[in-house]
Structures are given as structure tokens and as C-alpha cells.
Amino acid sequence: MTIVENYNKILQTINTFKKETKLIVVTKGQDLSKISPLIQMGHQDFGENRVQEAYIKWQKIILSNPLINLHLIGKLQSNKAADAFKIFNFIHTLENEKLANIFSKLENDSNRKIKYFIQVNIGSEVQKSGISINDLNDFVRYCTKELSLNILGLMCIPPINKDPDEYFSLLKSLSAKNGFKDLSMGMSSDYEKAIKFDSTYLRVGSAIFVTNSI
């Protein structure tokens, strides 16, 4: 199947569930020849892992396509936050007070406002990024009440080689307890399950760009 066929199949799956779910096409490592057909079809939400790669790839495209939304879905170092703030519309990996403070200052010093997801270390894995579940409520309160950041909801990456249902269910519960409507969860291997747990933002790359994967 072609990239466009893969893309359309995923959209059909989303529509089958009749969910209010956005598809973020993850374009890390992909060149523009592969991305352009999706832009031409009118797709607007794209995800990148690295700030520098995103800037090089997207800066000119965004100038001519202002409706495109860029989503940072990779771990963000604090020294890259200012650069990320310039080009991304959504940050899915907000995970500590240092980053939150930097973004708050950047917003206060400019007219630009962006949207955030708090990344939760849903499996309590030492090698994974994300705020711990025990610290989540206080961090949400700090970001929303003290810093007035526009936190849309929570994001997670479930442990590898485990059924993600348990973790998607838990994130959904944590999100509801904190009054959020949006969830960033579900990737190429598990996006259908994420939809069933009301994910509103799917982050899908290889299932679209690996043309023999679907």
C-alpha cells in the first residue's frame, strides 16, 4: 500500500469508531517527498521528535501553510525549549517544573501562546520520561493555576511488550480526575486500542510511511 492509502485506512478506522480524534502524522526522519502528498490532501497535524530537524524541515512550509500545526512528541531538553516555542503549536512532553517555568516566561514575554500535554510516566519506568503519577496532581495545579499554561490533557507511552489497555485506561482516569478532555496516546502499534479509550490525539508514523506495514 502507498503512503496515501495507509493514511486513508487509518482515517477510516478513526471514522468507524465515530470518535473526536485527531491524527498526528509523525514525520521524524521522513523527507518532504513523502510528506508533501499529505500536505496537498489538506492534512494539518504533524509530529516531530527533534527541534532542529523540525525547524529545518518545516520553517518554509509553515510560512506558506499557516494552518499546519506542529506537535513536539519527543523528549525536550530545557536548552531547546526557546527554539521549540518558536515553531511548535503543541508540546506533548511537558514533564517538569523547569520546562513549565521556561514556557511560562516565553509566553509572558511574547504574544504567542501554545498548547501543552503533560507526559505521564504511566508505567513507572526508570528509563522513561514523564512526571510520576504521585506528582501529577500537584504538577497539573502548578501549570494551570500558577503559570496559566494551556494544558489540554495528558500524554503517555505505555511499556513495550505489554498490553496497553491497562495503561490507556489509567491515563484516561487520571485525565478525568484532573478535569481534562484531551488525551495524547496511541501510536502505530496500538492506535486502535487508544481510540477505544477515547484518545483525542493519535501519534502515528510507521503505519503510514512504511508502505508494507498495513
Full set of structural domains in the chain with CATH? 3-209 (3.20.20.10)
Cell 502515528 belongs to residue: 204
- Mean pLDDT value across the chain: 95
The b-or-e profile of 43-65 (16+ CB within 10 A means b, else e) is bbbbbbbbbeebbebbeeebeee
pLDDT confidence of residue 165: 97
Alpha-carbon distance 87 to 179, whole Å? 28
Summarize pLDDT for 75-116 with one digit per residue, the tens.
Answer: 999 999 999 999 999 999 999 999 999 999 999 999 899 999
- The residue written with cell numbers 531547546 in the block is 80
What pTM was estimated for this model as a whole? Answer: 0.95
* pLDDT exceeds cutoff 60 at 214: no
Eight-state DSSP code of residue 143 = I
Q: Is the pLDDT of residue 19 over 90?
A: no
pLDDT in tens, 119-165: 999 998 888 899 999 999 999 999 999 999 999 999 999 999 899 99
Q: How confident is the model at residue 212 (pLDDT cuts 50, 70, 90)?
A: low
C-alpha dist (Å) from residue 177 to 20, 144, 180, 200: 20, 14, 8, 17
20 confidence band (pLDDT: 50, 70, 90): confident
pLDDT tens by residue, 169-183:
999 999 999 999 999
What residues form DSSP beta bridges with 90?
71, 115
User: Grid coordinates representing 178?
Assistant: 484532573
pLDDT in tens, 29-53: 999 999 999 999 999 999 999 999 9
